[in-house]
Amino acid sequence: MNIFSTIYNTILYQPMLNFLVLIYVLTGNFGIAVIVLTVLIKCLTNPLNKKAIESQKAMTEIQPKLKEIQKKYKDAPEKQAQEMIALYKEKNFNPFSSIFLLLIQIPIIIALFQIFKGGIVIDPQYMYSFVHLPETINPYFLGIDLSQPNIILAVLTAIAQYFQAKTNFTKQETDTKEPKDKTMQITEMMQKQMVFIFPIITLFVLSTLPSALAVYWLITTAMTIYQQKKILKEKND
């Protein structure tokens, strides 16, 4: 457990904390520091984001072929699995890319929560020698205490989450024009429900957590929507 804690602190929590403090010292605004950190993280995870979006696009394109395979080998599950894997390789599709991206985001959110929980209280032992630690840090940004929950930011983030999910589902609806079997109809119904479920979960979670997390998630979602539209447009041109 100590080993994992040391690795987590060394490669994630400590660098993020020091970067936030450094930007705060340079700008005098912790909100700007959070925004700069968010953009940096988004840039670093951009290849994974791009891969996840491309995989979503590829999934809609191979749906008719997947349906054919499932129908053709419905009585031969092993052969069906082999053909599906072969199709994934042929189309360079990774069904786990979105999950991998989510797994990376979770420790980042945990680190931000640890930084902001109970106010901005920084333990000097986690600071790098070249980063000046101010006596106090003002957590306010545009009149909002980023160390406390804020319902307005939580609502805005939930709305952004809705539009991101809606963009995904609308695109899949547009691309999939083939007649749908019962399994695909059930999948589509679940996707429609998730368009609303994800924003609701986002609203409830962020309404109880430091609003710095809402700022992070809102900007991340907005950038993802932009990236998504850009990549899908490039692929359609």
Identity of the residue numbered 227: Q
Per-residue pLDDT of the chain (237 residues; tens, 9 = 90+): 578 788 888 888 889 889 999 999 999 898 999 999 999 988 888 877 777 777 767 677 777 777 777 777 777 777 777 777 787 777 666 666 667 667 777 888 888 888 877 566 677 888 888 888 887 788 889 899 888 899 999 999 999 988 887 776 555 444 444 554 555 555 556 556 667 788 898 899 899 888 888 999 999 999 888 877 777 676 555
pLDDT of residue 215: 93
- Residue 174: the pLDDT is 47
Contacts of 70 (CB under 8 A, 6+ apart): 80, 183
Tell me the C-alpha to C-alpha distance, in Å, between residue 12 and each of 9, 53, 71, 197: 6, 25, 46, 30
The pLDDT score that the predictor gives to residue 187 is 53
- The Cα–Cα gap between 234 and 237 comes to 5
Q: What integer pLDDT is reported at residue 106 of this predicted model?
A: 83
Cα 63 from Cα 69, distance rounded (Å): 10
pLDDT at 234: 65
The answer to whether residues 116 and 212 touch, using CB atoms and an 8 Å cutoff, is yes
Distance of CA 151 to the CA centre of its chain: 20
Q: How many domains does the chain have?
A: 1
Q: How far apart are the first and last CA of the chain?
A: 50
Q: How far apart are CA 123 and CA 138, in angstroms?
A: 16
Amino acid at 115: I
Beta strands in 126-226 (DSSP E): 140-141, 144-145
CB 231 within 8 A of CB 55: no
Q: What domain range includes position 64?
A: 2-236
What is the pLDDT, as a whole number, of residue 83?
77
Q: Is the whole-model pTM more than 0.85?
A: no
